[in-house]
């Protein structure tokens, strides 16, 4: 009887060893949610390019483990995003997710992520509260929050550009509300005044109605647009013969659409955690790689997905490729530390949000091509700007009406 | 004063764009009773074709022509191969045209990528026209002119030509028209081709204002529907008046009640349909 028991246990042990060896050799399944159709398709394609570049750079292997990317198209629709997240996790067995593109998509799968305890790295979605008042323990962002860069721009506009009165015109959805409110807060704290706020629908057919309402006493216009709206707005702004200087959100003159713009974009000053023109060895190398592979400059979406993938690599190396202990893996993700990256130095705060160098950028023409020239850098900017987390989190979340124009 | 003038001009320009979009839709809807849900996709595809034509060296004016001809031809093929088999099955027609719209949208992403594209306008029409404090883009004034010219041309076609008389007869009573020997098998493809060509050329023409991007089709289609339903099925005058009304409502409404941007667009349609179920200039369907 004892011999039989020994036989059983040996067989079992051998079997178990075989299984775990097979497991170690098994690729890590990464579910990637992107957008291939509809209005956000351009950003989705750039995300795919950024991710592919990073996977290729690592030769498809991280911390000794093969990486298998399973791609899903969410169409940029929150309901579809939720289905796709479920499919990726339950049918395809994705152990970690990268995505989605838009803030409202991220909010749609927030609960599901919490339930299934699936680690997720956001390559783009910027909604503030996911790393603030309602932090998701499984969520880490590889990009800035909506307002993170625009806090800096508000101060810059008041202190260095000496603007006193500004009109804000922005997309009427969460991202537009949040980035505008962040800009307004620091601009007004430094003595400026937002005299008018105009919200245009995300799919506004044209901007003539809004441009003609801009208060003629303003010193400048702040344009907070995403997707392709920046192209439409700046083109029409010029056609209406408007002369006032334009400040833009990071995405208003993103490299992804800048290549399609003309002289109407010249001189637009914006703020971001990235510009293809950042002059560091790490970024030069990155830009070269993107230009070589895709014949285009990297922008918001390209670098975001690239960095999300680098975050994954960094965390996997810390846990030696073993993510069976999810809590340990999340801890590793939150302690991602990159002294060098296209962004510059990256560290995360305790909410899973990177602390980033923010650059003030100006659209200039170089070698016949538009670029976001860096004119100033604010080092190590937190999502809370200079306020301190406690003080910041006490104020209401940035929204359409916070705070009204005077 | 300034406000009312400039927003009025904005409304007139946007209404003109809508008429260019809706006139073809209205023609097809009126005669063939097909709710062509791919009309917005034709409009977008026309703009993309125009961009490619311009990139290949064509002038803006040639690009409009090429956009119109290309989409007109596509429309003719679709009518011939698909829609003809579905005569008298409105549900199948709606479904098929919706499917075609999806296919065109995906094909556009595939061919032209998802990048939004500005459509360059002719140099001579760039810039703004200034009177005292007023500044208004010259191109928009041009679009207003085109819309009125198009309305006049279509009116002439429908009221003063033999083809027009046949179309009118078909709109009024299709069975009677057939009975008196009007060959609808010739008439339908001609009208569908003309309506599609109008959408294609209109896409190029609207490009400098709207720019082209994936999703332009679904942004514009509801506007064409509202215009045609408000104006009345099968009425060119209805489409024209409907376009201008929606244009003005869009412009003044967004300026005066910015929070109600969407409701303002659709509320008048609801009101008109409550009082006049056939639309402003619609005739009783037979």
Q: Does B188 touch chain A (CB under 8 A)?
A: no
Within a domain: residue B218?
A: yes
Q: Which residues on chain B are in Cβ contact (under 8 Å) with A242?
A: 135
Range A44-48, long-range pairs (CB < 8 A, 24+ positions) = A44/A73, A44/A76, A44/A101, A44/A301, A44/B114, A45/B113, A45/B114, A46/A256, A46/A298, A46/A299, A46/A300, A46/A301, A46/A302, A46/A305, A47/A99, A47/A101, A47/A123, A47/A124, A47/A301, A47/A302, A47/A304, A47/A305, A48/A305
Cβ–Cβ gap B14/A205 under 8 Å:
yes
Of B10, B106, B223, the CB nearest to A212: B10
pLDDT > 90 fraction of chain B, expressed in percent and rounded: 69
Q: Which residues in chain A touch residue B13, judged by CB atoms under 8 angstroms apart?
A: 208
Of residues A209, A239, A257, nearest to B254 (C-beta): A209
User: Touching check for B114 and chain A: CB below 8 Å?
Assistant: yes
3-state helix, strand, coil in chain A (%, to 5): 40, 20, 35
On whether residue B32 sits in a domain, the answer given is yes
| CATH classification number, A147-278+357-394, choose in 2.70.150.10, 3.40.50.720, 3.40.50.2300, 1.10.150.120 | 3.40.50.2300
The answer to whether the CB atoms of A241 and B128 lie below 8 A apart is yes
B139/A contact by beta carbon, under 8 A: yes
Q: Give the rounded percent of residues in chain B with a pLDDT score beyond 70.
A: 98
Amino acid A8: pLDDT? 54
CB-CB contact of A246 with A237 (8 Å)? yes
Which pTM value belongs to this model?
Answer: 0.89
Mean pLDDT, range A310-339, rounded to an integer: 94
Could you tell me the pLDDT band of residue B268, with boundaries at 50, 70 and 90? confident
Q: Write out pLDDT tens, residues A290-313.
A: 999 999 999 999 999 999 999 999
Give the gap in angstroms from C-alpha B211 to the nearest C-alpha of chain A: 6
Give tens-digit pLDDT for B111-125: 998 889 999 999 999
For the segment A235-265, what is each residue's pLDDT rounded down to a tens digit?
999 999 999 999 999 999 999 999 999 999 9
**With an 8 Å Cβ cutoff, is B16 touching chain A?**
no
User: Would residue B222 count as lying in a domain?
Assistant: yes
pLDDT at A88 over 50: yes
Task: Say if B137 is an interface residue toward chain A (CB within 8 Å).
Answer: yes
- Give contacts of A261 with chain B, Cβ < 8 Å: 118
The partner residue sitting opposite B116, judged by closest CB among A206, A242, A260, is A260
pLDDT for A360 equals 98
d(CA B249, CA B251): 6
pLDDT digits (tens, 9 = 90+) for A121-137: 999 998 888 899 989 99
pLDDT computed for residue B185 by the predictor = 85
Q: Does residue B257 sit at the A interface (CB-CB below 8 Å)?
A: no
In this prediction, residue B263 has a pLDDT band, given cuts at 50, 70 and 90, of: confident
Contact A228 B219 (CB under 8 A): no
Among B137, B214, B255, whose Cβ lies nearest the Cβ of A213? B255
Measured in whole angstroms, the distance separating CA A219 from the mean position of its chain's CA atoms is: 30
Q: Which pLDDT band, with edges at 50, 70 and 90, does B42 fall under?
A: very high
pLDDT at B266: 82
Residue B88: what pLDDT? 85
Q: What is the pLDDT of residue A104?
A: 83
Counting Cβ atoms within 10 Å, is residue A390 exposed (0-12), middle (13-18) or buried (19+)? exposed
Mean model confidence pLDDT for chain A: 91
Whether pLDDT at A14 is above 80: no
Residues of A whose CB is below 8 A from B125: none
| Contact status of B189 with chain A (Cβ, < 8 Å) | no
| Identity of the residue in B136, B219, B255 whose CB atom sits nearest the CB atom of A205 | B219
pLDDT band at B131 (very low <50, low <70, confident <90, very high): confident
| Residue B138 included in any domain | no
Q: Do A44 and B223 touch (CB under 8 A)?
A: no
Residue of A nearest to B135 (CA): A240
Q: Which residues pair with A364 in a beta bridge?
A: A371
ipTM above 0.85, yes or no: yes
Pull the structure tokens for residue B196.
């599609």
User: Above 60 in pLDDT, residue B101?
Assistant: yes
pLDDT at residue A15, as a whole number:
53
- Section B128-156 average pLDDT: 93
User: Is the pLDDT at B286 greater than 50, yes or no?
Assistant: no
Domains in chain B, number = 1
Please indicate whether the domains covering A28-146+280-356 and A147-278+357-394 agree at the CATH topology level. yes
- The confidence band for A1, taking pLDDT boundaries of 50, 70 and 90, is very low
Give pLDDT tens digits for A184-211: 999 999 999 999 999 998 888 889 999 9
Q: What is the pLDDT of residue A339?
A: 92
pLDDT band for position B276 (cuts 50, 70, 90): confident
Q: What's the confidence (pLDDT) of residue A25?
A: 60
Class of CATH domain A28-146+280-356: alpha beta
Domain hosting B170: range is 8-116+164-275
- Angstroms from B224 CA to nearest CA on chain A: 13
- Give me the residues of B, 82-101, that contact A with CB < 8 A: none
Identify all chain A residues contacting B223, using CB atoms and an 8 Å cutoff: 205
Contact A198 B208 (CB under 8 A): no
pLDDT exceeds cutoff 70 at A317: yes
Cβ pair A205, B220 in contact under 8 A: yes
- Which SS3 state, helix, strand or coil, does residue B249 take? helix
| Cβ-defined contact of B116 to A239 (cutoff 8 Å) | no
pLDDT value, residue B87: 86
B262 contact residues in A (CB cutoff 8 A): 201
Residue A20, pLDDT score = 52
- Report the mean per-residue pLDDT for chain B: 91
């Amino acid at each position: 009887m004892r011999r039989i028991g020994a036989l059983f246990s040996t067989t079992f042990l051998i079997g178990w060893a075989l299984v775990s060896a097979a497991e170690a050799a098994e690729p890590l399944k990464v579910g990637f949610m992107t957008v291939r159709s509809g209005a956000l398709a351009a950003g989705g394609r750039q995300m795919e390019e950024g991710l592919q570049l990073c996977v290729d750079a690592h030769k498809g292997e991280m911390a000794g483990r093969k990486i298998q990317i399973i791609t899903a198209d969410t169409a940029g629709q929150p309901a579809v995003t939720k289905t796709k997240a479920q499919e990726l996790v339950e049918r395809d067995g994705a152990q970690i997710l990268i995505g989605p593109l838009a803030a409202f998509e991220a909010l749609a799968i927030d609960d599901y992520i919490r339930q299934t305890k699936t680690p997720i790295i956001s390559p783009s979605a910027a909604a503030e509260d996911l790393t603030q008042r309602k932090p998701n323990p499984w969520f880490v962002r590889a990009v800035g929050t909506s307002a993170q860069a625009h806090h800096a721009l508000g101060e810059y506009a008041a202190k260095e550009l000496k603007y006193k009165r500004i009109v804000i015109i922005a997309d009427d959805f969460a991202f537009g509300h949040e980035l505008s409110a962040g800009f307004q807060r620091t601009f007004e704290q430094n003595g400026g005044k937002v005299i008018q706020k105009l919200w245009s629908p995300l799919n506004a057919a044209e901007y003539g109605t809004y441009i003609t309402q801009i208060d003629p006493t303003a010193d400048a216009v702040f344009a907070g647009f995403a997707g392709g709206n920046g192209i439409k707005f700046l083109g029409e702004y010029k056609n209406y013969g408007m002369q006032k200087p334009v400040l833009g959100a990071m995405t208003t003159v993103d490299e992804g659409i800048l290549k399609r713009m003309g002289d109407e974009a010249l001189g637009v000053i914006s703020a971001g955690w990235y510009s293809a023109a950042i002059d560091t060895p790490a970024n030069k190398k990155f830009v070269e790689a993107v230009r070589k592979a895709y014949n285009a400059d990297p922008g918001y979406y390209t670098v975001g997905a690239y960095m999300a993938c680098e975050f994954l690599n960094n965390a996997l190396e810390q846990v030696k490729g073993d993510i069976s202990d999810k809590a340990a893996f999340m801890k590793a993700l939150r302690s991602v530390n990159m002294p060098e990256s296209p962004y510059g130095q990256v560290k995360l705060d305790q909410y899973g949000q990177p602390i980033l160098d923010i650059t003030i950028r100006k659209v200039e023409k170089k070698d016949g091509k538009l670029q976001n020239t860096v004119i100033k850098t604010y080092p190590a900017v937190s999502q809370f700007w200079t306020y301190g987390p406690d003080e910041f989190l006490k104020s209401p979340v940035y929204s359409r009406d916070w705070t009204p124009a005077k | 004063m300034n406000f009312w003038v400039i927003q009025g001009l904005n409304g007139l320009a946007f209404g003109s764009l809508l008429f260019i979009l809706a006139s073809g839709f209205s023609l097809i809807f009126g005669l063939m009773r097909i709710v062509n849900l791919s009309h917005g996709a034709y409009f977008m595809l026309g703009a993309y074709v125009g961009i490619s034509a311009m990139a290949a060296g064509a002038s803006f004016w040639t690009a409009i022509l090429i956009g119109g001809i290309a989409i007109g031809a596509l429309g003719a093929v679709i009518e011939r191969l698909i829609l003809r088999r579905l005569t008298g099955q409105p549900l199948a027609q709606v479904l098929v045209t919706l499917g075609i719209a999806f296919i065109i949208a995906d094909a556009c992403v595939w061919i032209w990528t998802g990048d939004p594209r500005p459509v360059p306008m002719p140099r001579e029409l760039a810039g703004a026209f200034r009177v005292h404090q007023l500044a208004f883009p010259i191109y928009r004034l041009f679009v207003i002119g085109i819309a009125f010219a198009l309305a006049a041309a279509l009116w002439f076609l429908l009221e003063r030509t033999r083809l027009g008389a046949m179309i009118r007869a078909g709109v009024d009573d299709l069975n009677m028209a057939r009975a008196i020997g009007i060959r609808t098998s010739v008439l339908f493809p001609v009208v569908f081709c003309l309506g599609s060509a109008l959408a294609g050329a209109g896409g190029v023409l609207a490009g400098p204002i709207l720019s082209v991007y994936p999703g332009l089709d679904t942004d514009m289609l509801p506007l064409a529907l509202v215009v045609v339903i408000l104006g009345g099925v099968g009425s060119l005058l209805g489409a024209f008046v409907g376009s201008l009304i929606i244009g003005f409502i869009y412009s003044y409404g967004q300026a005066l009640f910015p929070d109600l941007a969407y409701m303002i667009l659709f509320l008048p349609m609801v009101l008109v349909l409550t009082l006049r179920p056939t639309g402003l200039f619609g005739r009783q369907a037979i």
